[in-house]
């Protein structure tokens, strides 16, 4: 009898504490860890979204972006995975890169280490060629690669990222072989391409939107044309079924109190219908695709499966 009363008292106290957390949350600034340098695509997304998340969390909410670059984002996302799950540490999350890091090296986190809040950006891949290459269409590119296996050099930001997986899809689809030239980020890859040091590049639409007059942009890996480049045909329109891109969103450590998680999810879910937010993201050429909660987790698992399959067949390290 005593134990029953004690148990009921503990449960009651826990429920009251939980309700208090939801009602008062957030009581202090929320830190948002970005695993890349300031000014990059992920950082821009976090800083653009922050004031809107503050608005939907309520009066007094404050998000503070903290950059922790290094190891292709692994340092920052590991910090998030190991933080207290109290709702005061969130982090940006990039796919497929964050899952690829658990395959190609030792990682102190896995797909089960997080509470999934929302994917916000789906930045599709584009294939571009140097003006000096003489390659202006997809058919010309594929023909050149078939006739001269390995002769076409491809600049990309890193191995094990969305651009790398896009190239593997292209090679498998067209039975071609290219030579990869990895760079330390998309900006140097684009610079090398514009200088004619590599023949071809795989980038994201946000990274070439302002450079379309300086490069040959051959197509975009989406099912429909992008609002950021409405004259640019999809690969499917040209006979190549290629859909791929870089996804960027937000996670928290696994184990958030359910009511805090619900409050955060409600805030992120309102981004998709906020015209001011959509306009702010459009100004940075970042295509918005909001996927929240468990759907985001399922998406993460799908991309882990893709990365693992690629690694098993063609390990990139």
**In the chain, where are the structural domains located?**
30-123+245-313, 124-238
The H-assigned helical ranges of 25-161 are: 41-57, 74-81, 97-104, 138-147
200-204 vs 288-292, strand pairing mode: unpaired
Backbone angles phi, psi at 170, to 5 degrees: -60, -45
User: Crossing angle for the helix pair 97-104 and 293-313, nearest 10 degrees?
Assistant: 40
Count the residues in the chain.
317
Query: Distance between CA 227 and CA 221 in Å, rounded?
Result: 13
Averaged pLDDT score across all residues of the chain: 89
Residue 21 pLDDT greater than 70, yes or no = no
Inter-residue contact 316 to 165 (CB < 8 Å): no
Mean pLDDT of 8-36: 69
pLDDT score, position 175: 97
Is pLDDT at 128 greater than 90 in this prediction? yes
Is pLDDT at 6 greater than 60 in this prediction? no
Reported as a pLDDT band with limits 50, 70 and 90, residue 8 is very low
CATH no., domain 124-238: 3.40.190.10
Tell me what pLDDT residue 208 has: 86
Q: How confident is the model at residue 3 (pLDDT cuts 50, 70, 90)?
A: very low
Whether residue 271 is predicted with pLDDT greater than 80 in this model: the reply is yes
d(CA 273, CA 14): 35
Read off φ and ψ for residue 39, nearest 5 degrees. Answer: 100, -15
Q: Classify strands 63-67 and 200-204 as parallel, antiparallel or unpaired.
A: unpaired
Query: Does 16 score more than 70 pLDDT?
Result: no
How far apart are the two ends of the chain, measured CA to CA in Å?
Answer: 62
Tell me which of 96-105, 203-212, 263-272 is least confident.
203-212
Q: Is 127:141 a contact under the CB 8 Å cutoff?
A: yes
**Predicted pLDDT of residue 1:** 40
* pLDDT class of 295 with cuts at 50, 70, 90: very high
Least confident of 90-94, 143-147, 208-212: 208-212
> 1-10, 16-25, 168-177, 238-247: which range is least confident on average?
1-10
Mean pLDDT of 63-81: 92
User: Comparing 30-123+245-313 with 124-238, is the CATH topology the same?
Assistant: yes
Question: What local confidence, expressed as pLDDT, does residue 7 receive?
Answer: 40
Rounded Cα gap, residues 253 and 225, in angstroms: 36
Instruction: Check whether 59 has a pLDDT greater than 80.
Output: no
- The band of 114, judged by pLDDT with boundaries at 50, 70 and 90, is very high
* Confidence check: pLDDT of 93 > 70: yes
Name the nearest CA neighbour of 49 among 228, 292, 211, 261: 292
What DSSP state is assigned to residue 93? Answer: E
Architecture field, domain 30-123+245-313:
3-Layer(aba) Sandwich (3.40)
Instruction: Measure the CA–CA gap between 72 and 169, rounded to whole angstroms.
Output: 22
Radius of gyration of the chain (CA): 22
Question: Do 198 and 130 contact (CB within 8 A), yes or no?
Answer: yes
């Amino acid at each position: 009898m005593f134990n029953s009363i004690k148990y009921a008292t503990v449960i009651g106290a826990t429920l009251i504490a939980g309700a208090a957390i939801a009602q008062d949350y957030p009581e202090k600034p929320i830190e948002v860890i970005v695993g890349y340098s300031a000014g990059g695509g992920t950082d821009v997304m976090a800083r653009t979204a922050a004031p809107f998340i503050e608005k939907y969390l309520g009066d007094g909410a404050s998000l503070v972006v903290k950059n922790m670059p290094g190891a292709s984002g692994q340092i920052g996302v590991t910090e998030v995975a190991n933080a207290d799950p109290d709702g005061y540490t969130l982090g940006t999350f990039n796919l497929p890169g964050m899952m690829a890091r658990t395959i190609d090296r030792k990682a102190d986190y896995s797909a089960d280490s997080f509470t999934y809040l929302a994917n916000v950006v789906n930045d599709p891949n584009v294939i571009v060629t140097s003006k000096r290459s003489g390659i202006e269409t997809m058919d010309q590119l594929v023909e050149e690669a078939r006739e001269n296996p390995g002769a076409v050099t491809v600049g990309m930001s890193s191995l094990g990222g969305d651009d790398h997986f896009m190239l593997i899809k292209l090679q498998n689809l067209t039975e071609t072989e290219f030579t990869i030239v990895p760079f330390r980020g998309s900006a140097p890859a684009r610079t090398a391409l514009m200088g004619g040091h590599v023949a071809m590049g795989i980038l994201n639409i946000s990274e070439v939107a302002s450079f379309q007059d300086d490069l040959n942009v051959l197509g975009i890996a989406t099912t429909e044309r992008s609002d950021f480049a409405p004259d640019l045909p999809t690969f499917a329109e040209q006979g190549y079924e290629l859909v791929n891109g870089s996804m960027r969103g937000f996670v928290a450590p696994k184990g958030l109190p359910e009511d805090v998680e619900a409050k955060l999810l409600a805030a992120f879910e309102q981004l998709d219908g906020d015209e001011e937010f959509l306009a702010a993201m459009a100004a940075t050429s970042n295509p918005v695709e909001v996927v929240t909660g468990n759907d985001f987790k399922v998406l993460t698992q799908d991309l882990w499966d893709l990365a693992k399959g690629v690694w098993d067949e063609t390990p990139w390290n």
